[in-house]
Amino acid sequence: MVVFPNAKINLGLRIKSKRADGFHNLDTVFYPLPFTDALEIILQSTPSETPVIFSSSGHVIPGDTQSNLCLKAYHLLKNKFPELPSIQMHLHKNIPMGAGLGGGSSDGAFTLKLLNDKFKLNIPDDELLELALNLGSDSPFFIKNIPVHATGRGEIIQPTSVDLSNKKIALVLPGIHVSTALAFKGCPISSSIETCDTITKQPVETWKDDLVNDFEQTVFPNYPVLANIKEQLYDAGAIYASMTGTGSTVYGIFNELPDLEGVFNQEYQVVLL
């Protein structure tokens, strides 16, 4: 069985307060995009002492394989359902890591959903949401995978009416890995009363001055190329442009499919959706 874990962008991202547990309370709108990885799970063909045989292709995934969120998702369910069989899992990584697109969180959440469906575990959505929170603050969003207003750490989600289906979205991925710690360091607490949800209910053309990603204040001075990409998107006709998450992807929203040939450094990946 194959599924296609998709990316997301943040429509606005405000830091509302620091929490006693060290996390921050956020205000954002998560919006799903049809830019995907591919994940396949099958039963192991021959008996093995290893419950999961994992392989990957595409973008190289850094770090210890055992820390991969797909494997963590499997072991979360294995602890609850000891009868869960041994599997082979292959992940084709198309969404870059550290790009603010939620690719890893999506892979983990889709693993939970795929295992639940394939092996008929009958786990209700509410319980899947709780399990997904063990994988990352934005993983619960990918269980629902519809536009949502997210608060708390990003795990408190409510459906929202924002709809960009009649727009074109350009992602510009410069291949920079932005440190989340660096992004948070010195980032001010937002004093904005108006929520991202309220702003995104207005026409996209009105978002430019009001819909803000607070992390641009700390990331852009350290990576000025990202600020340049944002301005280049506006120069190319975007009606709204922003960094997503803590970076490094910058996106632009257009009324019509833009011609971006020759606009950006040829080493950048540009995805038109």
CB-based contacts of 250: which residues, under 8 Å, 6+ apart? Answer: 171, 172, 174, 226, 229, 230, 233, 241, 242, 243, 244
Q: What are phi and psi of 93, to 5 degrees?
A: -95, 110
| Cβ atoms < 10 Å from Cβ of 73 | 25
Residues 6+ away with beta carbon under 8 Å from 15 = 24, 25, 26, 184, 187, 188, 189, 190, 214
- With tokens 């069985």, the residue in question is 1
The H or E element that residue 211 is part of is none
Q: List residues with catalytic annotation.
A: 8, 138
Helix (H, G, I), strand (E, B) or coil at 223: coil
Q: Is-contact 55 61, C-beta < 8 A?
A: no
Contact present, 40 and 75 (Cβ < 8 Å): no
Q: Which residue has the tokens 């026409």?
A: 203
Q: What tokens appear for 81 in the block?
A: 């359902």
Half-sphere CA count of 95, side-chain side, radius 13 A: 25
Packed helices 103-118 and 125-133: angle between N→C axes, nearest 10 degrees: 140
